[in-house]
Amino acid sequence: MADSSDTKPKFYLTTPIYYANSRPHVGSAYTTIVCDVIARYKRMCGFDVAYLTGTDEHGVNIERAAEQLQITPQELVDKNEKIFRDLWKLLGITITDFIRTTSEEHARAVQTLVRRTIERDRSLPPGERAIYKARYEGRYCIYDNLYVSDTPEPADCPTCGRPAELISEDNYFFKLSAYQEKLLELYREKPDFVRPDFRMNEVRSFVEAGLKDVSISRKTIKWGIPWPGDPEHVLYVWYDALISYMSGIGYGQGSGREGSPKFTRYWPADLHMIGKEIIRFHAVYWPAFLMAAGLRLPEKVFAHGWLLFEQEKMSKSRGNVAYPEPIVKVLGNDALRYYLLREVVFGQDGNFSRDSLITRYNADLANGLGNLSSRILTMIASYCGSVVPNVADSEAPSRLLEIASEARLQGIRNSYSKFEFSEALIQVWKLVELVDKYIVEEKPWTMAQSPADSDRLGRVLYAAAEALRMISVLAHPVIPDATQKIWAQLGQPGKLAEVRIDQLTWGGLKPGTRTGKSEAVFPRADKQEASERIESMEQEIRNPRSTEPAAGPATSAVPASTPTADNKISIEDFAKIELRVGLVKSAERIAGADKLLKLVVDIGDEVRQVLAGIALAYQPQDLIGRKVVIVANLAPRKMRGLESNGMLLAASAGADGQPVLCTFAEDIPAGARVK
């Protein structure tokens, strides 16, 4: 740790750790971008910021996603974790720490916390202990990792609506019921423990209604962290995941009683930023887990709203996602960041649409700030030889006084501090308009025609450039790339990120500074063209042409063979694949697997059992009697404990890669070779 960071006040903030069962979408990027704006803002206010994100890599949904792709859970999370990290780099996210729940240090931290809780329990009578063992029977949603009901009767998940699965086993329980009063006391003492207000009220009512104990271990699942001293059990994925907020900064590491010096410095977290759907885990379970272990509680949990796409929560399982990478490639990183923070009133749900994204980009960024900065810099280049004019009086002129006014600056800073990002941006863009108007009214181009006006011209251009400098500082947390470019074009040294936003005052621009070349920071986008480019890149992500057929491996086409330099295979390679006509004799669904069907297929000289990932596209009864194409010499493999002996060929159609089975127009006997 640098010496200077020791003397600064610390600020530790976290995003939720994201499920690594699929790649991130704009909804997942939203929380990370918001936290990045806060992290940058806090640093510009002189804080030593630790900013943690990571990936949640355990649990049934990871296990099942891997099974469908016929790879191990570890391979799946390794692949997706990299996509998350690459995206955060692309979006300019200034995280200081990244935690994976499959890492060794995380497992150690989780086990340390369990042991510590059990140790504290020893001094208590059995009935008061936080952790105890008992029989569990209930319904559990594997997609949301949520206990849906504590009785065995069928029930649907309130979050995703799917039928929850029956769980019946011996579990370790956490005595949440014993924490009701302590939690209510916490909310009384710290009324802003949960933000916004209405969420605090929701949480309080939930706790007042009484709390049930929660099971925190699993016996049927293997993909998790073993329970210390009882490795038949793994830890419940939420107990495991929440601890990442501590393991990510060194809990359970080093020689200290609680963890590394880094943990001692940064814990407790100053802010857990989360989506509203996971508020109970953070505002009820998490503080109770920490109380039971005798650890300090986070300062604040802020639950924001959802980003909606076509009126529904953007989420992979609903299939209505937009991906950030194409937007960044077409419009730039700042465009997405600005749009999300300006468009959504933070805390509430907000709509995402490509149309409004491009409209806002053109209006506020290209025509707004981008145009203003190139105008000012071009005039300084043309009329002042690329040197900030020397002015006798560098006071803000009356028309721009608002920019320099402490009240205005404080208003913008307050909005940032209260996480009212769209309000902060509205205020900053008012300044953009003000400077624009100032230039239009002063008409520097007319003054430039008359030598007698040269002092006035200098004053006007100085004021415009200084206002632009201040606007760059104020907008930097949200649009770091463009403002850094403007900063450099204004001839300002170093990193804008190191400038103190809380000490910003008029007059920081030194007369005589050489300005750089004016380059467009936000080139105007042709709406249709930009939209089409984004759309086509999104299609490529949803349905990659090269490696992963969207129908999934159970129906995917030929296995990879040796590619030549231009990615072609030889005829000998192709001949290795034995394709045969198969006649479907029977077809049925597999309990607990929404995508898989179990088929019995006659391939002429034998009858095979084949599992195919086509259940969302085909009804079992419609398949009986159909002729299909089978990869007959594929090594058998197991899915859901069932053997699959061959693979069906299918095309992958449409945006969501619906499988369409290969078949024949002519009558053809089962077993015929397809060549």
- Chosen residue from 91, 274, 366, 463 binding ligand MSP by CB under 6 A: 274
Lookup: tokens for 519: 């380059």
The answer to whether residue 241 forms part of the interface with ligand MSP (CB under 6 A) is yes
The answer to whether residue 292 forms part of the interface with ligand MSP (CB under 6 A) is no
Q: How far is the CB of 84 from ligand MSP (least distance, A)?
A: 10
The answer to whether residue 538 forms part of the interface with ligand MSP (CB under 6 A) is no
Using the contact rule CB under 6 A, the part of the chain among 91-99, 120-128, 254-262, 274-282 near ligand MSP is: 274-282
Q: How far is the CB of 133 from ligand MSP (least distance, A)?
A: 24
For residues 608 and 632, give the distance between their C-alpha atoms in angstroms, rounded to a whole number.
Answer: 9
- Chosen residue from 27, 250, 444, 477 binding ligand MSP by CB under 6 A: 27
Q: How far is the CB of 314 from ligand MSP (least distance, A)?
A: 4
The answer to whether residue 290 forms part of the interface with ligand MSP (CB under 6 A) is no
The answer to whether residue 435 forms part of the interface with ligand MSP (CB under 6 A) is no
Closer CB to ligand MSP, 30 or 522, in the complex: 30
Amino acid (one-letter) located at 539: Q
The answer to whether residue 394 forms part of the interface with ligand MSP (CB under 6 A) is no
The answer to whether residue 17 forms part of the interface with ligand MSP (CB under 6 A) is yes
The answer to whether residue 171 forms part of the interface with ligand MSP (CB under 6 A) is no
Chain-centroid distance, C-alpha 283: 20
The answer to whether residue 332 forms part of the interface with ligand MSP (CB under 6 A) is no
CA distances from 140 to 157, 214, 218 (A): 8, 12, 11
Q: How far is the CB of 200 from ligand MSP (least distance, A)?
A: 17
Using the contact rule CB under 6 A, the part of the chain among 61-69, 146-154, 311-319, 580-588 near ligand MSP is: 311-319
The answer to whether residue 106 forms part of the interface with ligand MSP (CB under 6 A) is no
Buried/exposed code over 334-360 (b: 16+ C-beta within 10 A; e: otherwise): bbbbbbbbbbbebbeebebebeebbeb
Strand order in the sheet with 214-215: 146-149, 131-141, 165-174, 214-215
Closer CB to ligand MSP, 28 or 556, in the complex: 28
For residues 559 and 448, give the distance between their C-alpha atoms in angstroms, rounded to a whole number.
Answer: 71
The answer to whether residue 76 forms part of the interface with ligand MSP (CB under 6 A) is no
Q: How far is the CB of 285 from ligand MSP (least distance, A)?
A: 10
The answer to whether residue 61 forms part of the interface with ligand MSP (CB under 6 A) is no
Amino acid (one-letter) located at 348: Q
Using the contact rule CB under 6 A, the part of the chain among 27-35, 218-226, 446-454, 530-538 near ligand MSP is: 27-35
Using the contact rule CB under 6 A, the part of the chain among 194-202, 310-318, 456-464, 655-663 near ligand MSP is: 310-318
Amino acid (one-letter) located at 179: Y
- Chosen residue from 73, 252, 259, 275 binding ligand MSP by CB under 6 A: 275
The answer to whether residue 337 forms part of the interface with ligand MSP (CB under 6 A) is no
Q: How far is the CB of 64 from ligand MSP (least distance, A)?
A: 15
Other CB atoms within 10 Å distance of the CB of residue 592: 12
- Chosen residue from 11, 51, 52, 56 binding ligand MSP by CB under 6 A: 56
DSSP string of 346-366? Answer: TTS-EE--HHHHHHHIIIIII
Closer CB to ligand MSP, 18 or 41, in the complex: 18
3-state helix, strand, coil in the chain (%, to 5): 45, 20, 35
The answer to whether residue 113 forms part of the interface with ligand MSP (CB under 6 A) is no
**How open is the CA angle 44-358-335, to the nearest 5 degrees?**
20
For residues 531 and 542, give the distance between their C-alpha atoms in angstroms, rounded to a whole number.
Answer: 16
Closer CB to ligand MSP, 29 or 649, in the complex: 29
Closer CB to ligand MSP, 85 or 626, in the complex: 85
CA distances from 153 to 149, 165, 397, 630 (A): 8, 10, 73, 40
For residues 528 and 162, give the distance between their C-alpha atoms in angstroms, rounded to a whole number.
Answer: 38
- For ligand MSP, how many residues bind (rule: CB under 6 A)? 20
- Chosen residue from 40, 58, 139, 313 binding ligand MSP by CB under 6 A: 313
Closer CB to ligand MSP, 108 or 626, in the complex: 108
Closer CB to ligand MSP, 30 or 193, in the complex: 30
- Chosen residue from 52, 113, 307, 611 binding ligand MSP by CB under 6 A: 307
Site for ligand MSP in 503-522 (CB under 6 A): none
Binding mask 560-599 for ligand MSP (x = CB under 6 A): ----------------------------------------
Cross-strand pairs, 580: 630, 673
The answer to whether residue 28 forms part of the interface with ligand MSP (CB under 6 A) is yes
- Chosen residue from 33, 141, 194, 242 binding ligand MSP by CB under 6 A: 242
Lookup: tokens for 33: 């971008």
DSSP string of 349-412? Answer: -EE--HHHHHHHIIIIIIIIIIHHHHHHHHHHHHHHTTBPPP-S--SPPGGGHHHH-HHHHHHH
- Ramachandran angles phi, psi of 673, nearest 5°: -80, 135
Long-range contact set of residues 440-445: C-beta below 8 Å, sequence gap at least 24: 441/399, 444/379, 444/383, 445/379
Lookup: tokens for 130: 């936080």
User: How many angstroms separate the most distant Cα atoms in the chain?
Assistant: 101
Contact present, 51 and 10 (Cβ < 8 Å): no
Contact present, 257 and 115 (Cβ < 8 Å): no
Closer CB to ligand MSP, 87 or 649, in the complex: 87
- Chosen residue from 111, 215, 247, 315 binding ligand MSP by CB under 6 A: 315
Contact present, 588 and 620 (Cβ < 8 Å): yes
**Rg (alpha carbons) of the chain, rounded to whole number:** 30
Q: How far is the CB of 313 from ligand MSP (least distance, A)?
A: 5
Contact present, 243 and 99 (Cβ < 8 Å): no
The answer to whether residue 19 forms part of the interface with ligand MSP (CB under 6 A) is yes
The answer to whether residue 284 forms part of the interface with ligand MSP (CB under 6 A) is no
Closer CB to ligand MSP, 25 or 580, in the complex: 25
Contact present, 478 and 460 (Cβ < 8 Å): no
Contact present, 22 and 69 (Cβ < 8 Å): no
Q: How far is the CB of 143 from ligand MSP (least distance, A)?
A: 9
Which residues neighbour 81 within 8 Å (Cβ) at sequence distance 6 or greater? 20, 55, 57, 100
Q: How far is the CB of 368 from ligand MSP (least distance, A)?
A: 26
The answer to whether residue 167 forms part of the interface with ligand MSP (CB under 6 A) is no
Using the contact rule CB under 6 A, the part of the chain among 238-246, 560-568, 610-618, 656-664 near ligand MSP is: 238-246
- Chosen residue from 11, 12, 13, 18 binding ligand MSP by CB under 6 A: 18
Q: Checking DSSP bridges between strand 650-653 and strand 658-661, what pairing results, if any?
A: antiparallel
Q: How far is the CB of 19 from ligand MSP (least distance, A)?
A: 4
DSSP string of 46-89? Answer: T-EEEEEEEEE--SHHHHHHHHHHTS-HHHHHHHHHHHHHHHHH
Contact present, 246 and 109 (Cβ < 8 Å): yes
Binding site for ligand MSP (CB under 6 A): 16-19, 27-28, 30-31, 56, 241-242, 244, 274-275, 278, 306-307, 313-315
